């Protein structure tokens, strides 16, 4: 079978496209030639976290990955047999564990047996979802689709050294249930977690208070505040993750603590992000949307869900998935939102 050429600069053109391209090649059995990797970025080519993600997906997916080195702008991947078993991957920096899993989980679901993953790196880093977003928002959506994933966040890790540790147990599920989420239903509760490591307690308290103030006209907001010690975290850092649970959905918003950025601003930002989803009446938040598309594309039926905005990430993933899988996407305005429909080919 000839290699499928994919332009890594298409659309959003970032690391997500590269991670999903290798994952989709493994799932579909289609050989891949990926070129122009992150071509429009200030530092084009593969960085440490991208490299780990591609190597991890290729290792679980079997086959042969060529050209995957730091700074590489093109790679070749010949898929093989996707195997269950135990795997350990180390980003080697504070590169995001969650982004590594973004390309690894879809492959693991096609393994010939359970997959046990142990990944070290950054759990709460800029330009990536914090690990608590994965735990509180993204994985619950997969559970609704019939996917069985058990995750333990054993140690948090931050920029610049990483050192976080996350373990997962993944049961095979090559054809999940359709994702149906058009109307969120009544709000049940807003909760979350605001944490720091090796920093004063007043910082997560201030983040939580600012977020709660933005959401004050909703029912009582309950945000847990925590300070992590030596056994729970490596280095200093923090994050705040909020969830809004409704009758039919879970919406999330998150941000990572940054040196020099006031705790109040971080809390306000994440509060306004969640408020935007609630005010719009969305059933899936804009960040979960692009991450769930690859699973909806493999479902054994039609998926439909409503989002408040179609991001460039989402449009890029739609284009990429259609290159590999026999699936049709439709995106159309619907009741002040956008409805995305995913139909098996």
DSSP codes, 24-80: HHHHHT--EEEESTTTTSSS-S--HHHHHHHHHHHHHH-SEEES--TT-S-EEEE--
The answer to whether the CB of 179 falls within 8 A of the CB of 342 is yes
The answer to whether the CB of 325 falls within 8 A of the CB of 297 is yes
Q: How many helices (H) does the chain have, and how many strands (E)?
A: 9, 17
What is the rounded CA–CA span in Å between residue 313 and residue 318? 9
What percent of the chain is helix, strand and coil (3-state, nearest 5)? 30, 30, 35
What is the rounded CA–CA span in Å between residue 329 and residue 321? 9
The answer to whether the CB of 298 falls within 8 A of the CB of 27 is yes
The active-site residue, picked from 110, 195, 287, 313, is 313
Task: Rounding to the nearest 10 degrees, give the CA dihedral for residues 329, 331, 337, 341.
Answer: -30
Judge whether 272 counts as a catalytic residue: no
Helix (H), strand (E) at residue 117: strand 115-121
Nearest to 76 by CA among 66, 89, 68: 66
What is the rounded CA–CA span in Å between residue 130 and residue 140? 15
What is the rounded CA–CA span in Å between residue 179 and residue 299? 8
The catalytic residue positions are: 313
């Amino acid at each position: 079978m000839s290699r499928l050429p994919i332009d890594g600069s298409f659309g959003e053109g970032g690391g997500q496209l590269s991670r999903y391209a290798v994952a989709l090649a493994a799932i579909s059995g289609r050989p891949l030639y990926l070129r122009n990797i992150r071509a429009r970025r200030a530092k084009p080519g593969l960085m440490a976290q991208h490299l780990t993600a591609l190597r991890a997906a290729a290792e679980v997916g079997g086959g042969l990955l060529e050209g995957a080195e730091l700074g590489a702008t093109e790679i070749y991947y010949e898929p093989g047999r996707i195997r269950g078993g135990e795997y350990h991957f180390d980003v080697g920096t504070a590169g995001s564990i969650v982004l590594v899993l973004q390309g690894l989980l879809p492959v693991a679901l096609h393994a010939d047996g359970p997959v046990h993953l142990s990944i070290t790196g950054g759990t709460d880093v800029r330009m990536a979802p914090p690990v608590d977003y994965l735990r509180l928002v993204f994985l619950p959506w997969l559970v609704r689709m019939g996917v069985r994933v058990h995750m333990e966040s054993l140690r948090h890790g931050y920029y610049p050294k990483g050192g976080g540790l996350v373990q997962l147990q993944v049961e095979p599920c090559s054809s999940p249930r359709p994702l149906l989420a058009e109307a969120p239903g009544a709000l049940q509760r807003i909760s979350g977690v605001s944490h720091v490591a090796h920093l004063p307690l007043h910082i997560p308290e201030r983040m939580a208070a600012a977020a709660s103030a933005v959401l004050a006209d909703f029912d009582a907001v309950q945000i847990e505040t925590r300070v992590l010690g030596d056994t729970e975290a490596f280095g200093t850092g923090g994050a705040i993750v909020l969830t809004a649970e409704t009758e039919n959905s879970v919406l999330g918003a998150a941000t990572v603590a940054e040196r020099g950025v006031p705790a109040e601003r971080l809390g306000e930002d994440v509060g306004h992000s969640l408020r935007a989803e609630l005010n719009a009446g969305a059933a899936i938040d804009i960040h979960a949307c692009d991450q769930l598309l690859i699973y909806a594309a493999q479902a054994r039926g039609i998926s439909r869900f409503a989002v408040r905005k179609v991001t460039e990430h989402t449009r890029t993933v739609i284009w990429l998935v259609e290159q590999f899988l026999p699936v049709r996407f439709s995106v159309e305005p619907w009741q002040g939102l956008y409805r995305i429909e995913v139909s098996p080919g």
